[in-house]
Copies of this chain bind each other. A is one copy, B any other.
Amino acid sequence: MPEFSFRVTAREGLSRRGELHTPHGTVQTPAFMPVGTRGAVKAVTGQQLRDTGAEIILGNTYHLYLKPGDSLIARCGGLHRFIGWDGPILTDSGGYQIFSLAAMRRIREDGAEFRSHLDGSLHHLTPERATEIQAQLGSDVAMVLDECIATPAPAPAAREAMERSVRWARRARDRFLQLRDSPAPIAVTNPGQAQFGIVQGATHLDLRTESVQATVDIGFEAYAIGGLSVVESPDVMYEVVGHTAPRLPDDRPRYLMGSGMPDDLIESVARGVDLFDCVLPTRNARNGQLFTREGPLSIKNARFAEDMSPPDPQCGCYTCARFSRAYLRHLFLAGEMTGATLNTVHNLYFYLDTMRRIREAILFGTFGKLRQEFHQTYSRRPHH
């Protein structure tokens, strides 16, 4: 595993400033990964993505497997070449989308049977197959297939899913290691790919502890905390993250999957998390919600009709440097794609700039202060 490594360069309390090395370059952590579901971060180009400060993006295995297919992408040289992004890419396993998107799903010990939300076609995804698909995609980080369940989940159901996820993780790891030695007939397009295990257990702390131990016993390059993007209350999420993250190996990056709001990033970093992904900045941008240092802002609001100030006067992004709330409101109401692009550029910049400020603060030992200030100025509810 010479090409994948992680190094903590500074600490403040439980928070860590680090560097994650991958076959496609280095990621400064704590890091946020914009979501590029189908091989593109919606409404922006790779250039615009770079300009917002993105260093690593996430691709969804479920979507790419269904269309255009992992074999086609492999024949085109792998996901990096296919989508023209030469930086690091992490792919999820498809487990969450089967849970949240598929037209039908049936979980058995062998794997997940589901029907495509696109055409109703029947598919069978096993831990081994999810590993093979990601080997063909050639992401820098592959995730194991896990079983996602709705929350709140009673302890017996949460235990069952957690234990199955551990069994699946072992099978996924076995297949991953086999592919290193004898990849055929799978086209492994990124020999330096790493594989992350996923801790489950819903909101039950004892299950989380068990899951950490069992998953770390299998042994992965790093570990993720799953099953929390579906938790409604931030307090419950913070409790589970605060319980789980410090129990994960200190010398490996920790990835909180699918969360969250800007304050979730701060609070999870404070609990020792290094990696994040979330659709919020991009999805909300397309719905006309812009993040600012004071909180989210709904651009369609009539009070912005002639407001010539930028979305966030403190922001350094292209959108805030050139365009007004009045113009963005007009574009949103007119349904112009350019509005979705400009909003996305702003929201991603806001998220990635927040991560940059977090990293700098940890380095200078001022993260506690930043965290305090953030909560004093930022309101989760729209302030306009």
Residues of A within 8 A of B (CB): 38-48, 67-68, 72, 75-77, 81-84, 305-306, 308, 318, 322-324, 326-327, 330-331, 333-334, 336-342, 345
* B326/A84 in contact, CB under 8 A: no
Known A-B contacts: A42-B336, A45-B318, A45-B338. Give 13 more (CB < 8 A). Answer: A38-B330, A39-B327, A39-B331, A45-B341, A46-B322, A68-B326, A68-B330, A76-B306, A76-B324, A81-B308, A84-B322, A84-B324, A84-B327
| Protomer copies | 2
Residues of B within 8 A of A331 (CB): 38-40
* A39/B76 in contact, CB under 8 A: no
Cα distance, A338 to B37, chains bound together (Å) = 12
* A323/B40 in contact, CB under 8 A: no
A338 to B: closest C-beta gap in Å: 4
Set B39, B46, B77, B337: member contacting A340, Cβ < 8 A? B337
* A306/B75 in contact, CB under 8 A: yes
Sort A-B residue pairs by CB-CB distance and give the 8 closest, nearest first.
A40-B338, A84-B322, A43-B337, A84-B323, A68-B330, A38-B334, A40-B336, A337-B337
Cα distance, A339 to B46, chains bound together (Å) = 12
A290 to B: closest C-beta gap in Å: 16
Residue of B nearest to A321 (CB): B84
Interface CB pairs A-B, < 8 A, 28? A38-B330, A39-B327, A39-B330, A39-B331, A39-B334, A40-B339, A42-B336, A42-B338, A43-B337, A43-B338, A43-B341, A44-B338, A45-B48, A45-B318, A45-B342, A46-B322, A47-B318, A67-B333, A67-B334, A68-B333, A72-B306, A75-B306, A76-B308, A76-B327, A81-B308, A82-B327, A84-B327, A337-B337
* B336/A38 in contact, CB under 8 A: yes
Cα distance, A72 to B43, chains bound together (Å) = 28
Residues of B within 8 A of A338 (CB): 40-45
Cα distance, A329 to B11, chains bound together (Å) = 46
Residues of B within 8 A of A82 (CB): 324, 326-327, 330
* B67/A330 in contact, CB under 8 A: yes
Residues of B within 8 A of A68 (CB): 305, 326, 330, 333
Residue of B nearest to A47 (CB): B318
Residues of B within 8 A of A72 (CB): 305-306, 326
Residues of B within 8 A of A41 (CB): 338
Among A68, A75, A81, A339, the one with the most B-chain Cβ atoms within 10 Å of its Cβ is A68
Residues of B within 8 A of A340 (CB): 337
Residues of B within 8 A of A76 (CB): 306, 308, 324, 326-327
Cα distance, A326 to B68, chains bound together (Å) = 10
Among A41, A72, A338, A341, the one with the most B-chain Cβ atoms within 10 Å of its Cβ is A338
Among A43, A81, A324, A334, the one with the most B-chain Cβ atoms within 10 Å of its Cβ is A334
Residues of B within 8 A of A342 (CB): 45
Cα distance, A43 to B339, chains bound together (Å) = 9
Cα distance, A338 to B42, chains bound together (Å) = 6
Residue of B nearest to A44 (CB): B338
Cα distance, A121 to B323, chains bound together (Å) = 30
Residues of B within 8 A of A318 (CB): 45, 47
Cα distance, A19 to B68, chains bound together (Å) = 48
Cα distance, A340 to B335, chains bound together (Å) = 14
